[in-house]
Amino acid sequence: MSEVIQLLPDHIANQIAAGEVIQRPASAVKEMLENAIDAGATHIHLIIKDAGKELIQVNDDGKGMSPIDARMCFERHATSKIRTIDDLFEIRTMGFRGEALASIAAVAQVELKTKPKDSEVGTRIVVENSEVQIQEPCSMNQGTHLSVKNLFFNIPARRNFLKSTTTETRHILDEFIRVAMAFPEIAFKFTNNSADIFHLESGKLKLRILSLLGQNLNNKLVPVQEEAGFIQIQGFVASPDAASRTRGNQFFFVNNRFIKSAYLNHAVTQSYQNLIAKDEFPLFVLFLAIDPKRVDINVHPTKQEIKFDEEKMIYAIVHAAVKRALSQYSIAPSLDFSLDANIEHLPSITQPFSKQKQEHTKSDYLFQSFTEKGQAHFLDKKPKIANWQELYQVQQQLNPELTAPETKPEPVFEESFQEEFLQINKAYIIATTKSGCLFINQHLAHERILYERFQRTRLQPLTIQKCLLPVMLEFNAVDTVMLESMLDDLLNLGFEIEKFGQQSFTIQGIPADVKPGKEKETIEQLMESYKHFSSEVKLEKREKLIRLMASQQAIPEGKKLSKAEMQELFQQLLLCEQPSLAPNGKKIMARITSKDIELLIQQS
Ligand code: ADP
Ligand code: MG
């Protein structure tokens, strides 16, 4: 009997291996762009034809390759990026497996032209089916041009398996956007079937986001910048009104590598709780920088999933960082990009990937908020004034004009708000601050206060005042069922209502702050708006009820307020978890600085 086991020829082994690395044109695009980045390119040009099925070309001005390296790079496990196993835990390049070019060369017709800086001439190599067809000198500038033609030409089954041109182009576009997003300091060009679809100048992250995702996001991007222990997070999240019904614009990068993590997405989405509808997705572009030792990027061949050592802690940090950014943004709209000059120097804007800072900033409030409680997901729900002060201080750091420069930190709250209040048009309250004033919508402010108070009623029901005489309510069959289903929640909210016969109820008690005599009206109105609201908004039953009650009971526009009432309202607002947005996402206040006022005067 003869032996049956044979070693596979190299090109077949490569083709098999290629299946894992190169699944479609977009995978080749990703590998090629990443190689250009690893080579230190400052300009990268991606050219595709027919969704990459005909041509994928990447030209870069990176460090290039010597003639020998140019030949070596197509060998399997040929990499310049790691040498020992220990290097695996220190990876700072995008690639490291040395598989991409070997795989591409196994399944396409490849032409490589490359020249390092100090060589006179470059090298041109043509490879097909893993075999070098031509190697010759060529003339070119420093850098590398790699053309990949007729992908899968030698594996018809795979080629036929590719999706429509539109779908494959979409995949390429996604990869391009992810890579270009992570490296705003690199200029990119993308040419699709001879049409230039992106021409991205090198610049700051914010600019890159706007060019990739749309200029309409201008004024809607909120900077996020936080450092806690071994992890640094920076980037931008968009204000709630930029949320969309699709997940498309959510970008997480870990050490500049795009990752998919439902867990971390959840951390961000949670920070938008009550600011966006349940079926909406917030837009974000966030960069986490973590010591490579603490991340395992090796778990998935296409490297989009990732494992962290301290997943829960990272969740907590991301959540808190976004939450803080959101509240800063809405407390001070001027923190947005009208302040470019002041915030432009911040690392979150200048560099998405800065060096890992390993000192454990134990004093950091974020760090403390989870270590103290010994529980990663627990973050203090009810911010105290101190917390608010902290936010205010951060603003001051960002915008030094807010206060005169002083060496010792000042007690921000008492001093900065001068307890002077003014009402305009019976609708707005002006609170003066040291550097200007806040314009507050009285109705929305009260709505927010009530909303948060009602939210807490699950744990701490509102006090009920007993009615002297029970009030009768009559409903039709449909409304009866509806009210019945609301009785428990209503009881928490201070309405004691009992079923009384087939379709009638009696009100036995009402919340302490509802005016007696208006019980019936209040409940009927509530039911009426509940019906309309129900069909419009997808929210939990209780959440709807709370929002409605808050909006119904909030002081209306047109109500005159005394100084004491304004002060009370203002102080309660500041105690809110989210003092700047009404439950429906509307902004409650605007801040106007003396500078803004002066501008107004000069412009009028
Ligand atoms: P990896 O990126 O994992 O090292 P690749 O197969 O993608 O593996 O590339 C193999 C090697 O070829 C790289 O390590 C690098 O030295 C070299 N190389 C690939 N593309 C370029 C490029 N655009 N410029 C310079 N060198 C490159
Ligand atoms: Mg590579």
Q: What are the domain boundaries of the chain?
A: 10-200, 205-328, 417-590
Ligand 1 pocket member 80 (CB < 6 A): yes
In this predicted model, which residue has the larger pLDDT, 454 or 25? Answer: 25
> pLDDT, tens digit, for every residue of 28-74?
999 999 999 999 999 999 999 999 999 999 999 999 999 999 999 99
Ligand 1 centroid distance, CA of 71 (Å): 11
Q: What is d(CA 17, CA 8) in angstroms, rounded to the nearest whole number?
A: 12
pLDDT at 238 over 70: yes
Q: Give the nearest ligand 1 atom to 102 CA.
A: 6
What residue's CA is closest to ligand 1, atom 17?
A: 73
Which atom number of ligand 1 is nearest to the Cα of residue 80?
14
Top pLDDT among 58 and 433 is at 58
pLDDT digits (tens, 9 = 90+) for 293-322: 777 655 454 556 667 767 778 888 888 889
Cα 252 to Cα 60, 203, 234, 263, 281, distances in angstroms: 25, 20, 10, 11, 14
Q: Which helix (H) or strand (E) holds 212?
A: helix 205-213
Nearest listed ligand to the Cα of residue 144 = 1
pLDDT: is 64 or 269 the higher one? 64
Mean predicted confidence (pLDDT) in 588-598 = 89
Using the predicted structure, report yes or no on whether residue 165 has a pLDDT greater than 80: yes
Residue 192 has pLDDT above 80, yes or no: yes
Ligand lying nearest the CA atom of residue 36: 1
User: Residue 9 C-alpha to ligand 2 middle, in angstroms?
Assistant: 23
Tell me, in angstroms, the distance from the centre of ligand 2 to residue 318's CA.
Answer: 29
Tell me the C-alpha to C-alpha distance, in Å, between residue 388 and each of 237, 247, 416, 572: 21, 32, 12, 12
Which residue in the block uniquely carries the two structure tokens 């509530």? 526
Pocket of ligand 1 contains residue 496 by CB under 6 Å: no
pTM: 0.60
pLDDT band at 210 (very low <50, low <70, confident <90, very high): very high
Instruction: Please tell me the CATH code under which domain 205-328 is placed.
Output: 3.30.230.10
Lowest pLDDT segment from 6-20, 258-272, 429-443: 6-20
Pick the atom of ligand 1 nearest to 36's CA: 23
Edge-to-edge, what's the strand order for the sheet holding 221-228?
221-228, 231-238, 284-290, 250-254, 257-259
Residue 350 sits at the vertex; the CA angle it makes with 248 and 395, to the nearest 5 degrees, is 90
- Taking each helix axis from N to C end, the angle separating 205-213 and 165-182, rounded to the nearest 10 degrees, works out to 170
CATH second-level architecture of 10-200?
A: 2-Layer Sandwich (3.30)
Residue 416's pLDDT band (cuts 50, 70, 90): low
Out of 33, 42, 80, 297, give the residue to mutate to test ligand 1, the one with the largest number of ligand atoms within 8 Å of its CB: 80
Is 503's pLDDT higher than 60?
yes
Q: What separation in Å is there between the alpha carbon of 540 and the centre of ligand 1?
A: 52
Measure Cα distances from 286 to 302, 313, 319, 441 in Å: 20, 16, 12, 32
- pLDDT single digits (tens) 470-494: 888 888 888 888 888 889 889 888 8
For the segment 366-392, the average pLDDT, to the nearest whole number, is 31
Ligand nearest to the CA of 100: 1
Percentage of the chain modeled with pLDDT above 90? 33
Q: Say what the pLDDT of residue 338 is.
A: 28
Residue 358 — pLDDT band, cuts 50, 70, 90? very low
Residue 97 CA: which ligand 1 atom is closest? 3
Q: Give the confidence band of 580 by pLDDT, cuts at 50, 70, 90.
A: confident
Mutate which of 101, 103, 141 for ligand 1? The one with the most ligand atoms within 8 Å of its CB, which is 101
Q: Rounded to the nearest whole angstrom, what is the distance from the C-alpha of residue 382 to the centroid of ligand 2? A: 48
Residue 598: pLDDT over 80: yes
Q: Show Cβ contacts of residue 240 under 8 Å, excluding neighbours closer than 6 positions.
A: 272, 275, 276, 282, 326, 581, 585
**Nearest ligand for residue 18 CA:** 1
User: Does the beta carbon of 44 lie inside 6 Å of ligand 1?
Assistant: no
Our answer on whether the CB atom of 65 is closer than 6 Å to any ligand 1 atom is: yes
Residue nearest to atom 14 of ligand 1 (CA): 79
Given a contact cutoff of 8 angstroms between Cβ atoms, the answer to whether 266 and 232 are in contact is: no
Distance 349 CA to ligand 1 centre (A): 29
Q: Would you say residue 528 has pLDDT above 90?
A: no
The pair of three-digit structure tokens given for residue 452, joined into one six-digit string? 């948060």
Pocket test for ligand 1, best of 31, 56, 68, 79 (most atoms within 8 A of CB): 79
Burial call 280-314: b when 16+ CB within 10 Å, e when fewer: bbbbbbbbbbbebeebebeeeeebbebebeeeebb
Distance 243 CA to ligand 1 centre (A): 38
- Which has the minimum average pLDDT: 208-212, 285-289, 432-436, 535-539? 535-539
Q: Which of 172, 198, 222 is nearest to 53 (CA)?
A: 172
- When pLDDT is cut at 50, 70 and 90, the band that residue 564 belongs to is confident
Average pLDDT for the chain:
79
State the distance from the centre of ligand 2 to the C-alpha of 120, rounded, in angstroms.
26
Please work out whether the CB of residue 63 comes within 6 Å of at least one atom of ligand 1. Answer: yes
* 14-24 average pLDDT score: 81
Domain 417-590 top-level CATH class = alpha beta
* Whether residue 24 has its Cβ less than 6 Å from ligand 1: no
Is 404 a residue whose pLDDT tops 70? no
pLDDT tens track for 76-112: 777 887 777 777 667 777 877 788 999 999 999 999 9
Query: How would residue 137 be classed by pLDDT, with cut points 50, 70 and 90?
Result: very high
